[in-house]
Structure 1
Amino acid sequence: MTCVFDIETIPDFHLLSSTFGYEGTPLQIAQAAFKAQYEKSGSEFLPICFHRVISIASVICDEYGRFVKVGNFGNAFIESAFIESTPSEGVDSINEPTSRTFLDTLESTLLSEFWQFINKNNPKLVSFNGRGFDIPTMLLRAMRYNIGAWAYFEQKNPALNKSKWDNYRVRYCEDFHTDLYESLGHFGAARNLNLDALCKMLDLVGKYDMSGAQVYETYLGESISDKNTESTDIESKKAALEVINHYCHSDVLNTYWLYLKYEVLRGVLLESDYYALLEILHERLPKDKPYSQIFTATLKRHIADYARTNAQHTDSITLDSI
């Protein structure tokens, strides 16, 4: 089994406020932290301990690389948590989508489900910069909730082919974790790669409607729906979280597709096998998501181009043999 994963985060404005004394709305606190970080380091990117996990998405495929499904962790909690209610004044309620209680419960649920999945299944992991951001962030935040990730640290388990030199934490071991940012960047030799640019170069989908930098504004800002509607904060945050989850889906789909291209590059997949896997992805891809249309169209185009080229090549061989 292979798990292609990606996370989305927002600034932990509760922690930033208590640590540095920032005041204001969650969005104002986040922006103040970005400004201070930029003045300090030349980058707005906060230390990973101040990132709160708000979405974890994955593509699951079988041991042959065949697409099984795409989705996100924490679905049951998300469906049950957004219940219309009137919280008591001054009470930090789980029904308030920006409360510490709600966000802690959401984050702990996501992390617990993800690490339980890893502990139980020991899948091969595939990511883009997962070693540099996603995994360190999820491990640090898991410590807040006493969540175990023992399978990730396990080194001596011959039954799972784990050893001192072959396990999830070994940087150059692609059998347990293929970080495409590392692999395609030759483990630091090239440092300016990003997922969207690589996808555009390869004529894959890439980022088509939003970027990771917009995630925090999507959740902490005003409603993403028409501001003239009378939607409640709970409704708008549920809609925002759905948008973020779907964006995270598109990222793991892009990463999965890039991974298949990488497997062709290193000789693990034949070109014919690669296109067979694209056909399976096309057949099994959800048809009712915001990203469905663009991924379906792009997949159909790639598959059709290959079929046409292959047919022309066959015709050429036939003519040459006359």
Structure 2
Amino acid sequence: MIPTLVFDLETIPDAAGLRRLNHHDPETSDAEVIEAALAQRRETHGNDFLPLHLQRVAVVGCVFRDDSGFRVKTLGEAHDPEATLIAGFFKTIERYTPRLVSWNGSGFDLPVLHYRSLIHGVQAPRYWDTGEDDRDFKYNNYISRYHNRHVDLMDLLAKYNGRANAPLDELAKLCGFPGKLGMDGSQVWRAWSEGRADEVRAYCETDVVNTWLVYCRFRFLKGELDATAYEKEIKLVRETLQASDKPHWREYMAAWDDPA
């Protein structure tokens, strides 16, 4: 089995970066710096979504599937420095060379990781290899859009046409999976600033499981899994989550089992 790493980021505005670029008064709090940037963004762009290089990585959620089983977790701890989280993600790639799977990873998650690893100086030679170190990577690497070391499901299913993109939440629910529960990306900064880091981390974990489940369905469509193997993968996810006593997995399973 090819080791597979499904990943998703939750980000918050980079207060330190905003201070450096906008020369804020040292007495101004981080919250005030961020709120000023969000207000300016709303005024100039009609939304408060900051550019990707000003998105600080707060959570890295992962599903890892290999011959040893199925695991879901968020890397590190809520108080870990951003560089530590980024290094942990790339360290997994260095060790396992997994297939990466994401939903809009090419449009958001990976560019954020590129910018933020550049800022912090986080090395990732295996990830960046395009054939210089391993000849196989010339024809199948993590960087090229149409290679399969990274499968951006949203991009692929839309046939690389942004106008055809679908939201993960809706597609997961249409496939019979739980989808998002109680939070979406637009609420992350507010929840994080209110000290609800655990809630954000739990939300990220449910998102990578949604992505994994949709990816399993996609593998069935392309014939990579037959019906028996597909049902076995879904059963493994259900049994793993049912064995957990964490509240977000109890909520997730209740939504999955709801006939509605």
TM-score scaled to structure 1, two decimals? 0.72
Measured after TM superposition, the shift of residue 31 of structure 1 is: 2.7
Judge conservation of contact 2:73–2:205 (CA < 8 Å) in 1.
yes
Identify the residue that residue 72 of structure 1 maps to in structure 2: 74
User: Secondary structure at 1:166's aligned position in 2?
Assistant: coil
**Does structure 1 residue 293 correspond to structure 2 residue 253?**
no
User: Taking every aligned residue pair, what percent have the same amino acid on both sides?
Assistant: 31
Q: Is 1:49 aligned to residue 53 of structure 2?
A: yes
Q: CA 1:158–1:147 in structure 2 vs 1: closer, same or farther (change >3 Å)?
A: closer
Q: 2:129 aligns with which of 154, 168, 172?
A: 154
Deviations 1:67-122 (A, max 9, x none): 521011114xx5xx6xxxxxxxxxxxxxxxxxxxxxxx520110111111111211
1:138 to 113, 135, 145: 113
How far 1:38 sits from its partner (Å)?
A: 2.8
Structure-2 separation of matches of 1:68 and 1:210:
24
Find the partner of 1:169 among 140, 143, 151: 143
- Given that residues 181 and 193 in structure 1 are in contact (C-alpha distance below 8 angstroms), is that contact kept between their aligned partners in structure 2? yes
Q: CA deviation at 1:34?
A: 2.0
Q: Distance in 2 between matches of 1:114 and 1:47?
A: 22
- Say if 1:27 and 1:217, in contact at 8 Å, map to a contact too: no
Distance in 2 (alpha carbons) for counterparts of 1:249 and 1:67? 17
Residue of structure 2 in register with 1:203 after alignment? 176
| 1:15 corresponding residue in structure 2 | 17
Structure 2 CA distance for aligned equivalents of residues 152 and 51 of structure 1:
21
Equivalent of residue 221 in structure 2, options 254, 257, 265: 265
- RMSD over aligned Cα atoms: 2.3
- Rate the CA distance shift 1:40–1:154 in 2: closer, same or farther, 3 A: same
SS in 1 for 2:246: coil
Does the 8 A contact of 2:24 with 2:33 survive in 1? yes
CA deviation vs aligned residue, 1:128-173 (integer Å, no higher than 9, x gap): 01111111111211122211111111122797x7332311111011
The answer (yes or no) to whether the contact 1:74–1:106 under 8 Å persists in 2 is: no
CA contact (8 A) 2:170 2:179 kept: yes
One-letter code aligned to 2:30 = P
Separation in structure 2 between the aligned mates of residue 271 and residue 157 of structure 1, nearest angstrom: 40
Q: Any unmatched runs of 5+ in structure 2?
A: none
Q: Give me the whole-angstrom Cα distance separating, in 1, the residues matched to 2:31 and 2:230.
A: 44
- Distance change >3 Å, CA 128–CA 67, structure 1 → 2: farther
Aligned match of 2:199 in 240, 243, 247?
243
How far apart in 2 are the matches of 1:73 and 1:115?
11
Q: Who is 1:218 aligned against?
A: 191
In 2, the alpha carbon distance for the partners of 1:67 and 1:217 equals 35
Match of 1:107 in 2: 82
Tell me: CA distance 1:192–1:39, structure 2 relative to 1, closer, same or farther (3 Å): farther
Structure 1 distance, partners of 2:158, 2:62, is 23
Paired position in structure 2 for 1:180: 153
Q: TM-score, normalised to structure 2's length?
A: 0.88
3-state SS in 1 of match to 2:137: coil
Distance 2:165 2:140 in 1: 28
Aligned residue-pair number: 254
C-alpha separation between the residues in 1 aligned to 2:221 and 2:66?
Answer: 20
**What whole-Å deviation, never above 9, does each CA across 1:232-266 have from its counterpart, x for those lacking one?**
xxxxx3xx221111111011011101111111222
| Mapped pair 1:256 → 2:186 | no
Q: Residue 28 of structure 1 corresponds to which residue in structure 2?
A: 32
- The alpha carbon displacement at 1:21 in A equals 4.2
The structural deviation recorded for 1:43 is 3.1
